[in-house]
Amino acid sequence: MSGTDVPSDRNRSTVNATFAETAREIPEADMNDATSSDSSETHGSVTSRADLKSWRFSLISGIVFLGWVILLARLVQLQGAQRQLMNDRVARQSIFSEVIPARPGEILDRNGHVLAMTITCDSLYAVPDEITEPWNFAWRAGSILNVNTDELYRRLIDNKDKQFLWIKRRTDDATVQEFRKLGLSKSTWGLRREYQRKYPQGGFASHVLGIRNIDNDGKGGLEQSLNTLIRGVDGNRVMTRDARGIVVEVAAEQSSSPDHGQTVVSTIDLLIQIETERNLDELMEDWKPVGACAIVMEPHSGDVLAMASRPGFDPNSLVEVPETAWKNLAVSAAFEPGSTFKPFIVGWALQEQLLQSDEMIDCSFGAYRMGPRVLHDHHSYGELSVEDVLVKSSNIGMAKIGERLGLEALYEATRSFGFGRRTGIELPGEIPGLLHSFDRWNVYSLGSIPMGQELAVTPLQLITAHAALANGGRLVRPRLIRGASEDDSIASPASAVNAVRPAADVGAELLDAQVARWLVQQPMVQVVERGTGKTARIPGLSVFGKTGTAQKLDPETGTYSDKAWVLSFICGAPAEDPAVIVLLMVDEPTVPGVHYGGTIAAPTAAKILQFAEARARTLDLQRPPEEQTSKERSRMTQKESSDSGLR
């Protein structure tokens, strides 16, 4: 070949021989060292790999063992120390209870007419835990239910883990049907039946009845004072549900049935109530006073046949009710009674034989100094009979009668007729009026108290005291609840009323029957026939009454106002044996005119009395069995009449 010579066979043999010779020259020890070194390296590598495998095995084994120890400890913890906790958590998630509301009882008038009743209706609730698109749900539901969409959305978000959330309570059937048409998933909402309070007579007797709120709690009136009786006791249903929220079991042994509320029969007569309120509304329209109230009472039993206050409200529609409308003036208004108070002082003086019915009182021709002040009458009167002191409403004549009694007897008389303390009627919010303690009375009290000043009374206190005159001198407790003895088919709730103790000794004989009869049939009849109450005359009916015109205190000056008045009129019929009495109070009429009790209050009171007296003849107004009729009690001997101071 050209370029490079290819070695021949001889040359290759020479090379091999040279290599072999060189190899022989290497020392045997060196060969042994090399062999030993290679063997050591191989053995060390094998040992390292074995140690690594052993370490890894130990680590993994330790981890597995530790895991089993932790798992075992957790199992011990769950089955031991936290067993009850876990059971409770499972129970909370699967076992739940549902309140079964009690049905509130009805309130009836004395003849069985329904004043308050309960109906069933649907309420809508959401299941936030099942709602995947809360904004869409809130937007669609809000448009139908007329609720604030943003507010509903916020509530859904705040309660997203809950299974129940009210969205609209007590809806009508039409709204429920419209809601169904939205096509929302049935797992996201539901219906629950609830009770709703209805007042079929509208606003009539609203202050007597009160209202019942959305949670079935009574507020105001009989609904509040008899709440425990009317409301009843809710039941409870305990149920178990699966993971999908479906009820799979009802625990009957742990559940309880509701105890429904009882029916209450009131003393109200619906027809008298309606007539009273219609006349009161006419007075409000004509004179536009700040407020007014009227009470109709059967004087022998204390049954309140009608009670109305203005301004008023409709318990079925509580939108934009003025704050003043919630106040029942019949039990919460306090005013100076004025001349309507005078018959009590005259009666007490006759009872104590410090005054004779046929004597004359010197009225000092319209001006009389009493201590540091001078009293005046509206007219200049000389001598007046005791009867005319009341008929003409002479302040000076009353002051002189007060002087005969003295402060202690005046105070005793005022307290005995129930002033300064609550009457104990079955209504919340009753005030005691205002009667200063005896240690605060002075020479001014000697003249002011007999005129109906220096004290404040409620309309209910005033008519209750006059009922004692009308029934022959016996103080009665006013009541709005009929007793069981009058209708054995309906349980009496009277014992369930948490009422205030009566103002005075109920049933106590305050005045001799002859004294009371004389006051009613003589001076109080003449007040209507020829005195300040002539506008209350009713043809063919013997009416007795007394007017009251009292100045209000000016809060700025602390003195009596010349522009603000409280006008009142108390009347009853028939005078021979009173069946009903009526009180009308008018607070501060604003329409210009002659503002007296006889010009504003008396005409309206007479209209109410005329209807109530006629209606009373058709009612079964049972009198207490222990009370004799006025006619029977008026059969007194001449000696008894003389002893009582009457001639």
pLDDT digits (tens, 9 = 90+) for 124-156: 999 998 899 999 999 999 989 989 999 999 999
pLDDT, one tens digit per residue, over 489-515 is: 344 444 444 433 444 456 678 999 999
Look at residues 543, 263, 523 and name the one whose alpha carbon lies nearest to residue 394.
523
Give the rounded distance of the alpha carbon of 115 from its chain centre.
Answer: 17
Pick from 322, 301, 315: nearest CA to 208: 315
Where along the chain do its domains lie? 96-265, 270-313+326-483+503-640
Residue 240 bridge partners (DSSP): 95, 249
Q: Which of 415, 464, 462 is nearest to 436 (CA)?
A: 415
Place of tokens 């070695």: 7
pLDDT per residue as tens digits for the range 230-244: 999 989 888 777 766
Instruction: Place 400 in a pLDDT band, splitting at 50, 70 and 90.
Output: very high
Opening angle at CA 276, ends 275 and 279, nearest 5: 85
What's phi and psi for 346, nearest 5 deg?
-65, -45
- Identify the CA nearest to 385 among candidates 550, 530, 601: 530
- Write down the pTM of the prediction: 0.81
pLDDT, tens digit (0-9, with 9 covering 90-100), for 570-588: 999 999 999 999 999 999 9
CB 571 within 8 A of CB 609: yes
Question: Is residue 531 scored above 60 in pLDDT?
Answer: yes
Three-class SS of residue 167? strand
Cα dihedral sign, 272-273-278-280: positive
Identify the residue whose tokens are 């014992």: 495
351/349 Cα distance (integer angstroms):
5
Question: Is the Cβ–Cβ distance between 455 and 337 less than 8 Å?
Answer: yes
CATH of 96-265, one of 3.30.1200.10, 3.30.70.360, 3.30.1300.10, 3.90.1310.10: 3.90.1310.10
What is the SS3 assignment for 388-442? HHHHCCCHHHHHHHHHHHHHHHHHHHHHHCCCCCCCCCCCCCCCCCECCCHHHCC
Are 261 and 232 within 8 A, CB to CB?
Answer: yes
The overall longest dimension of the chain from CA atoms, in Å, is: 188
CATH of domain 270-313+326-483+503-640: 3.40.710.10
Two structure tokens written together for 484:
């069981």
pLDDT of residue 286: 97
Question: Contact, 443 vs 372, CB < 8 A?
Answer: yes
pLDDT digits (tens, 9 = 90+) for 431-489: 999 999 999 999 999 999 999 999 999 999 999 999 999 999 999 999 999 843 334 33
**What phi and psi, each to the nearest 5 degrees, are found at residue 6?**
-85, 125
Q: Are 609 and 275 in contact (CB under 8 A)?
A: no
Q: How many Å apart are CA 631 and CA 513, to the nearest integer?
A: 10
Pairing assessment for the beta strands 107-108 and 264-265 based on DSSP bridges: parallel
Angle at CA of residue 255, ends 253 and 261, nearest 5°: 135
Assigned token pair, 603:
């005409």
d(CA 308, CA 302): 16
